[in-house]
Amino acid sequence: MTTPLSTDRMKYYQLMALVCEDLTANTKAIDAMVRGGHEATSSQLMAVRFGRNVHLTWLIDLVRVILPTYSIPDNLLPAPTAPAVVDASLFQEASL
pLDDT value of position 33: 92
18 falls within a domain: yes
83 falls within a domain: no
Split into its structural domains, the chain has a count of 1
34 falls within a domain: yes
Chain Cα centroid distance, residue 83: 18
94 falls within a domain: no
pLDDT value of position 85: 64
81 falls within a domain: no
How far are the Cα atoms of 19, 45, 94, 95 from residue 59, in angstroms, in the given order? 10, 8, 48, 52
50 falls within a domain: yes
Per-residue pLDDT of the chain (96 residues; tens, 9 = 90+): 466 778 899 999 999 999 988 888 777 889 999 999 999 999 999 999 998 999 999 999 999 999 999 999 999 998 777 666 666 665 666 565
Q: Which domain holds residue 61?
A: 1-69
Whole-angstrom distance, CA of residue 27 vs CA of residue 25: 6
